[in-house]
C-alpha cells in the first residue's frame, strides 16, 4: 500500500470520526435545550403546588383595584407564571413593550414586568 493511499484512508477515518462527534454535540445541544424547558415548566408547576392550599387567591386577597399599575396593591397580585392577559387584567396596558423570548413591559411609574417564554418571570414594583 502506498503512502498516499494510507494517508487517504487515515484522513477518511478522521473525517468520519469528526462528523460523528459533531453530530453528537448537536444532539446534546438539543437535549440541553429541551431539559432547560422542562426545568422551567417544572418550576412553574412547583410554584403552583407550593401556593397556599384551600381557598383560591382571589377569595383571600379580594379583587385588584381599577387603578391598574398606579396601585401598589395591584402589583402584589402578580404571581410568577401568569400570562400576558392575566398581568394586563391586573395592571392595565403598559406604556412601552420590548419583546422576544424575554419581553419587558414598562409602566410610567418607573416600574416594569419581565416575561420569559410568554410567562411572567419577574417585576419591579413602583417605589
In this structure, whether the domain defined by 64-124 belongs to CATH 3.30.1450.10 is answered with: yes
φ/ψ of residue 114, rounded to 5: -120, 130
Q: pLDDT at position 41, please?
A: 63
Q: pLDDT at position 87, please?
A: 95
pTM (two decimals): 0.51
CA distance 87 to 75: 9
Q: pLDDT at position 114, please?
A: 97
**Low-confidence residues of the chain: pLDDT under 50:** 55-60
Residue with cell 477515518: 13
Q: pLDDT at position 120, please?
A: 97
Answer for the pair 50, 43: CB distance below 8 angstroms, yes or no: no
Amino acid at each position: 500500500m502506498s503512502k498516499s493511499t494510507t494517508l487517504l484512508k487515515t484522513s477518511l477515518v478522521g473525517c468520519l470520526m469528526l462528523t460523528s462527534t459533531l453530530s453528537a454535540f448537536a444532539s446534546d445541544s438539543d437535549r440541553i435545550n429541551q431539559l432547560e424547558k422542562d426545568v422551567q415548566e417544572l418550576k412553574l408547576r412547583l410554584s403552583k403546588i407550593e401556593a397556599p392550599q384551600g381557598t383560591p387567591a382571589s377569595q383571600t386577597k379580594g379583587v385588584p383595584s381599577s387603578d391598574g399599575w398606579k396601585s401598589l396593591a395591584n402589583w402584589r397580585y402578580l404571581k410568577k407564571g401568569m400570562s400576558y392577559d392575566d398581568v394586563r387584567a391586573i395592571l392595565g396596558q403598559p406604556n412601552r413593550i420590548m419583546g422576544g423570548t424575554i419581553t419587558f413591559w414598562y409602566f410610567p411609574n418607573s416600574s416594569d414586568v419581565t416575561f420569559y417564554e410568554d410567562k411572567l418571570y419577574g417585576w419591579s414594583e413602583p417605589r
